[in-house]
Amino acid sequence: MEDNIIECVNVSKSYNGIKALDGVTLTIKTGEIFVLAGPNGAGKTTLLESIEGLRKPDNGTIKIFGKGVESFGKQLYYRLGVELQENSLPKKITVYEIVKLYSYLLNVILNPDELIRTFGLDEYAKKYCTDLSGGTKRKLLLLLSLIGNRELIILDEPTSGIDPQSRRFIWEYLRKLRGEGKTIVVTTHSLNEAFDNCDRFALMNKGKIIFQSSRQNFFSETPVKYVGIVNNFHKDSSNLEYEIPLQKGYGTLYCYGKNEEEIKNFFIYLQKEFKVGNEDMVIRKISFEDLFLYYTGIEFKEDGKDEN
């Protein structure tokens, strides 16, 4: 078995002169949950579609299962499971029928009733797929991506816009699959939730990988360790005579430091110069989402969609 199930080296892709991927180099290890995070238009979907063989990069190489992705043809999809988008579910077909259809197309012998029951969908078996709620559709899409005992599963926003119970089920099931030796690749905007469930991650922005690490080594490898938050701050931050990484939100000022002391000293400066009160200032260890904001200055929206 290959140590790295996916290897991307200097992968680039442009559309009408705009770079969706800009020299992406990335490895994903066999048997891990890997999270690929980034804002809308970061290039996540283009990268995944290139890995899936749906798009051909302009430059660079992509290997999957130790071979060039272009060498597989349709045989790739017997080993690779991809979660479809909600609007791809066909009309006038029931949950039971679509599970049976997928098993036939993939030449897999299975008991549809048992699989549907495993995902808690037995009460919906006779319902049309398009009549299901958002969370139930997500469960069904995950189920369909797993038919055929695939080694690698790629999921694009699997928990977007669903209820907490369905969200928990999906992550628990993904951890179960990892325990069975499967490799899971997830894109998401729910950063801290994904961080809690992943083994390794990469942050993308403007077609590039800007930071990658493991959950275990996250805090030791980040360039900044703490974030300071100043609420009710309505001054022009560009005129502050203090050197520290800053970002300005709507009435909120964010600052970043390698240690708490750096931020405390900045807070003292704000108290002296702008009479900021203690009740408006908070220091905490940096989170996965904080780190993204540090790199990009873009605030995530929970249900955002990636256009690239």
Tell whether 260 is covered by a domain. yes
215 and 228: one domain? Answer: no
Tell whether 301 is covered by a domain. no
Tell whether 303 is covered by a domain. no
20 and 54: one domain? Answer: yes
Query: What is the domain count for the chain?
Result: 2
140 and 35: one domain? Answer: yes
Task: Provide the CA 140 distance to its chain's centre, in angstroms.
Answer: 19
247 and 270: one domain? Answer: yes
Nearest to 61 by CA among 3, 2, 4, 7: 7
13 and 124: one domain? Answer: yes
Tell whether 137 is covered by a domain. yes
Tell whether 293 is covered by a domain. no
Identify the domain boundary among 185, 201, 219: 219
231 and 139: one domain? Answer: no
- Which residues touch 288 (CB under 8 Å, ≥6 apart)? 37, 191, 192, 194, 195, 201, 218
Strands 208-214 and 200-205: antiparallel
13 and 123: one domain? Answer: yes
10 and 121: one domain? Answer: yes
State the pTM of this model.
0.89
CB 182 within 8 A of CB 151: yes
Q: What CATH number corresponds to the domain at position 19?
A: 3.40.50.300
The pLDDT tens digits along the chain (308 residues) read 579 999 999 999 999 999 999 999 999 999 999 999 988 889 999 999 999 999 999 999 999 999 999 999 888 989 999 986 656 788 899 999 999 999 998 889 889 999 999 999 999 999 999 999 888 998 899 899 989 889 999 998 888 878 888 889 889 999 999 999 999 999 988 888 899 999 999 999 999 999 999 999 999 999 999 999 999 998 888 778 899 999 988 889 999 999 999 999 999 999 999 999 999 999 999 999 999 889 887 554 444 444 45
231 and 117: one domain? Answer: no
110 and 159: one domain? Answer: yes
Alpha helices in 106-243 (DSSP H): 112-118, 134-146, 164-179, 191-197, 218-221
197 and 51: one domain? Answer: yes
32 and 99: one domain? Answer: yes
Q: How many CB atoms lie within 10 A of CB 268?
A: 11
DSSP SS3 for 288: helix
| Structural domain that includes position 109 | 4-219
